[in-house]
């Protein structure tokens, strides 16, 4: 007869933990968000920048996942979400994400308590996340390339 050895069930930590901290653990991210929102507001008021923001491959007809992002950010700010999505879905994500981070910064500055997220990364958790991000970027690249006539048009 074999004796049964009890093996404790390992405690699984959550992959994302939220907490309120007494200082901003991510001041650089907050600063970038403030600048991003300020630029988006300026574009909403004054229009697109007068400078060319295209990479060299753009002139060869090769679009990258960021093509159309500036116009998408502007359209997001003026409330034309359908047009923003048409140019680049990342523009919406960038503006909404930056606005959320600015809101976090305002709440932290007023209350002295900063919402902080801690991600617990393990190799088992990293691989699928990297795979999903790469697939999404590849799909966005294909989408943007199919929209090349729209993205190469001026205006």
| 59-88 pLDDT, tens digit each | 888 888 888 899 999 999 999 999 999 999
CB atoms within 10 A of CB 88: 27
pLDDT computed for residue 126 by the predictor: 80
At 115, give phi and psi (nearest 5°).
Answer: -70, 130
Is residue 4 domain-resident?
no
The total domain count for the chain is 1
Q: Tell if the pTM clears 0.85, that is, is over it.
A: no
Structural domain containing residue 99: 23-152
Is residue 3 domain-resident?
no
pLDDT computed for residue 11 by the predictor: 55
When the pLDDT of each residue in the chain is averaged and rounded to a whole number, the result is: 86
Is residue 108 domain-resident?
yes
Whether the CB-CB separation of 90 and 140 falls below 8 Å is answered with: yes
Is residue 16 domain-resident?
no
Per DSSP, 58 falls in state G
Kindly compute the dihedral angle of the four CA atoms of residues 15, 20, 26, 27, in this order, to the nearest 10 degrees: 170
| Residue 3 pLDDT > 80 | no
């Amino acid at each position: 007869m074999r004796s049964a050895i009890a093996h404790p069930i390992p405690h699984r930590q959550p992959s994302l933990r939220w907490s309120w901290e007494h200082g901003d653990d991510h001041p650089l991210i907050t600063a970038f968000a403030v600048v991003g929102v300020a630029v988006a507001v300026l574009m909403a008021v004054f229009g697109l920048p007068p400078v060319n923001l295209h990479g060299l491959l753009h002139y060869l007809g090769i679009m990258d996942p960021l093509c159309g992002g500036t116009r998408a950010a502007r359209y997001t700010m003026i409330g034309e979400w359908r047009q923003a999505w048409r140019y680049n879905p990342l523009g919406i994500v960038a503006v909404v994400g930056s606005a959320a981070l600015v809101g976090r910064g305002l709440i932290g500055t007023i209350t002295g308590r900063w919402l902080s997220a801690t991600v617990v990364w393990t190799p088992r958790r990293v691989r699928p996340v990297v795979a999903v991000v790469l697939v999404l970027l590849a799909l966005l690249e294909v989408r943007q390339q199919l929209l090349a006539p729209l993205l190469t048009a001026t205006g």
